[in-house]
Amino acid sequence: MKGMIFTEFLDLVEEKYGLEVVDEIIEKSDLKSNGAYTSVGVYDFTEMLQLLQHLSMHTKLSIDKLLLLYGEHFFSVLLKRYPDFISAYKDPITLLASIENHIHVEVLKLYPDAELPTFNILEQTETSIIMIYKSSRAMHYFGKGIMHKTFEHFGSTASVILETLNENGTEVKFIIQQIT
């Protein structure tokens, strides 16, 4: 997992809960990196899971809820770091429909070692889209958070329903309906 995902996560934890909580979740985890991340490095996904588990214990929020909040925050990171990827689109459905064939393709050109999910489209209309998310990392709630903010960015709202297709959440159906 790219270091940027760790550094932005720990920045958000510091902003919301303070530096003591950042130190606490790092200390309680058994991290090969010792919690020293650089945005260009690549680290084990299990490190992210441990940090999330300890933050979940501290905040009493579920890991899914924490991933949702992080995804919502992460959209602003994307907007700041990769404005051209977002401004290439005029509406949220087209943007989401392009994750697989454009956005994450460009991400892989920039970072060949990125580990990305797949989002395959089952159905698409002007105001709705159904996609199948697949990833061994089961970060579907992170995706849902990014999607909420994608709609908000275009002055719109949507219902995003997740249907897990297997027990560990590595395959999830996203049913997305634009409301306004």
Q: Which residues bind ligand HEM (CB under 6 A)?
A: 1-2, 5, 78, 82, 85-86, 99, 103-104, 107, 111, 114-117, 135, 137, 139, 142-143, 146-147, 150
* Minimum distance from residue 180 beta carbon to ligand HEM (Å): 19
Interatomic CA distance for residues 130 and 147, integer angstroms: 13
Query: Structure tokens of 60?
Result: 């009493």
Please identify, using beta-carbon distances, which residue of 115 and 171 lies nearer to ligand HEM.
Answer: 115
Interatomic CA distance for residues 36 and 28, integer angstroms: 14
* Minimum distance from residue 49 beta carbon to ligand HEM (Å): 12
CB-based contact 176:131 (threshold 8 Å): yes
* Minimum distance from residue 10 beta carbon to ligand HEM (Å): 14
Please identify, using beta-carbon distances, which residue of 29 and 150 lies nearer to ligand HEM.
Answer: 150
* Minimum distance from residue 59 beta carbon to ligand HEM (Å): 21
Query: Mind spelling out the 3-state secondary structure of 113-141?
Result: CCCCCEEEEEEECCCEEEEEEECCCCCHH
Please identify, using beta-carbon distances, which residue of 86 and 121 lies nearer to ligand HEM.
Answer: 86
Please identify, using beta-carbon distances, which residue of 21 and 79 lies nearer to ligand HEM.
Answer: 79
Interatomic CA distance for residues 11 and 51, integer angstroms: 13
Please identify, using beta-carbon distances, which residue of 3 and 24 lies nearer to ligand HEM.
Answer: 3
4, 17, 54, 96, 105 from 109: Cα distances, Å: 16, 35, 33, 19, 7
Interatomic CA distance for residues 79 and 93, integer angstroms: 17
* Minimum distance from residue 20 beta carbon to ligand HEM (Å): 27
